[in-house]
Amino acid sequence: MKWFPLIVYLKNRINRFNKINNGTKKEFMMLKRWLMAAGLIAGVFVLPLTARAQEVKKEDTAVSAGQQEAAADQQPQTEPTDKEKIEALDQKIRVLERLREIEQEKAKEKEKTATIVGAGKDGFSIKSADGAFVFKFRGLMQADLRVFGENSHPPIATLGSNPTTFTMRRVRPTFEGTVFNIFDFKFMPDFGEGKTVLQDAYVSARFLPTLAVVFGKMKEPFGLERLQSTQNIIFIERALPTDVAPNRDVGVQITGDVLHGTLNYSLGVFNGVLDGASADIDVTKGKDIVGRVFARPFRQNSSSPLQGLGFGIAVSSGHQDGALSTYKTIGQQTFFSYSSSTVGVSNIGADGAHTRVSPQGYFYHSSFGLMFEYSTSSQWIKKADLVKKTETRAKIQNTSWQLYGSYILTGEKASFSGFTPANPFNPKDSHWGAFEVAARYSQFDIDDLAFSKGFSDLSKSASQAKAWGVAFNWYMNKFIRYAINYDQTQFKRGAVSGDRHSENVIMSRCQIAF
């Protein structure tokens, strides 16, 4: 019975130890070993003492407890008492507990400073523990098939008699991240369509929540659909107003959200590019100033049906000399270009102010989306007749607009920045991803002066393009999307006689974006 307190004590220690160590199997085994050690100690040291004590008791049952303790005190120091043994064992267990505790503290501390490597549904990333340094690897690949109708015009010379083509429309590995909390960077080349193009390469310094300064090559803050991320556009190709909007350009802009995030502003100075074009260097003397304000007045009001309403206006102003813009159909075929200069005969080119204006807006509610965009581009153009020694100069104003509506059949909430399917494709669970349908109309009008002043030729370039299209999107999961579109574009003039044949194109796309 003398062992009872020791057993109770050890049991308590075990319970405490288990509590500290969450009772894992490994730790339980450790405890078990300690128990065995305790048992061994008991067997080797304490049992004989007990036996001896029992013998003493037999010999002289009148010996008091106090006398026994006194006797124990008189034992040589090399023979520890039961109490000392228990205390020693207690210290050992306490030390083990503490060492384990320190290990756990160290592990927690390490977690705080450990770099976080992520790979999952949110993509691939490396992040410092404090979030001040982030590196993300992203990618976009779009494999397209374009099938043109038999009577599409003009014949697609590069494709011979068979206008059907597969094409890698975009292949974009993207490296982006943050350093020292406030400096974001992005580097995105594009290897699509057999070319290597640097699309984005910039550093954005977020000095204030309401102010970021961005240097490098980026999208100019102008066209609404152009500013929508390529992976989120509803149709395979953007509509006709994007022909007017500048694409990527090199410069500097300030941008930010003010008024509690309900108003976004951007103001930038760029080299200046042709309509719909990108460039890496400026070859003309002027710079473009581009500004855009976009309001989402109900953004913070989650109960308002107008929460998804946004509208704004973008303006660009600059100076262009020389090269002139061309405009493409939905099927990416040129439907308008200015006449070419002929050595010794004529010289035609941009010559002065280039101004663009674009009122724009969208509305998203539940699964429904609507986008409207109007763009106009004014450019002074000069044509010199080198034979007659005459010069013609005029401001040409081309306009374009579009309206589209979309609806997600599977009920997800539509937004400008896309959505994630509620039920990613998984046939075993009868999950099929998300489905979306959309329809749009867009129109492009070339200024009549372009033809009457002899800057372009009506037998080669259309004076108007009207395009309508329908789209069906299948979002298998957050990363994978299949799409099929039908687009028809009707032209006014643009042929030797009468109107150019309509362009009928079926396009499909397999896209991976992460």
By the 8 A CB rule, do 232 and 140 touch? Answer: no
Report in angstroms how near the CB of residue 98 gets to another protein at its nearest. 5
**Nearest CB to another protein, comparing residues 129 and 345:** 129
Tokens of 64: 């008091």
Report in angstroms how near the CB of residue 95 gets to another protein at its nearest. 5
Report in angstroms how near the CB of residue 269 gets to another protein at its nearest. 5
Q: Give 341's Cβ-side CA count (13 Å radius).
A: 14
**Residues contacting 302, CB < 8 A, separation 6+:** none
Q: Give the burial string for 430-450 (b: 16+ CB within 10 Å, else e).
A: eebbbbbebebebbbbbbebb
Report in angstroms how near the CB of residue 249 gets to another protein at its nearest. 14
**Nearest CB to another protein, comparing residues 166 and 207:** 207
**Nearest CB to another protein, comparing residues 58 and 285:** 285
Report in angstroms how near the CB of residue 103 gets to another protein at its nearest. 11
For residue 154, say if its preceding peptide bond is cis, omega within 30 degrees of 0: yes
Reported in sequence order, the residue ranges of 26-132 that DSSP labels E, i.e. its strands, are: 116-120, 123-127
Footprint of another protein (CB under 8 A): 91, 94-95, 97-99, 101-102, 105-106, 132, 205, 207-208, 211, 213, 252, 254, 267, 269, 286-287, 289, 318-319
Task: Name residue 354's amino acid.
Answer: H
Q: Which residues, listed in sequence order, are joined to residue 373 by a DSSP beta bridge? A: 360, 402
The two most distant CA atoms of the chain are separated, in Å, by 144
User: Residue 231 burial by CB count (10 A; 0-12/13-18/19+): exposed, middle or buried?
Assistant: buried
Report in angstroms how near the CB of residue 251 gets to another protein at its nearest. 10
Q: Which residue has the tokens 């200024």?
A: 447
**Nearest CB to another protein, comparing residues 68 and 91:** 91
Report in angstroms how near the CB of residue 410 gets to another protein at its nearest. 44
CB neighbours of residue 18 within 10 Å: 14
Report in angstroms how near the CB of residue 422 gets to another protein at its nearest. 41
**Nearest CB to another protein, comparing residues 14 and 211:** 211
**Nearest CB to another protein, comparing residues 128 and 326:** 128
From the list 335, 287, 326, 2, the residue with the least C-alpha distance to 152 is 335
Q: Which residue has the tokens 């002074």?
A: 380
By the 8 A CB rule, do 433 and 279 touch? Answer: no
**Nearest CB to another protein, comparing residues 133 and 407:** 133
Ranges of H-type helices in 250-303: none
From the list 138, 166, 164, the residue with the least C-alpha distance to 509 is 166
Distance separating alpha carbons of residues 210 and 255, to the nearest angstrom: 8
**Nearest CB to another protein, comparing residues 253 and 325:** 253
**Nearest CB to another protein, comparing residues 205 and 293:** 205
Q: Would you call 157 helix, strand, or coil by DSSP?
A: helix
**Nearest CB to another protein, comparing residues 12 and 91:** 91
By the 8 A CB rule, do 31 and 17 touch? Answer: yes
Report in angstroms how near the CB of residue 213 gets to another protein at its nearest. 5
5-to-9, 70, 82, 83, 492 alpha-carbon distances in Å: 6, 21, 12, 11, 103
Report in angstroms how near the CB of residue 286 gets to another protein at its nearest. 6
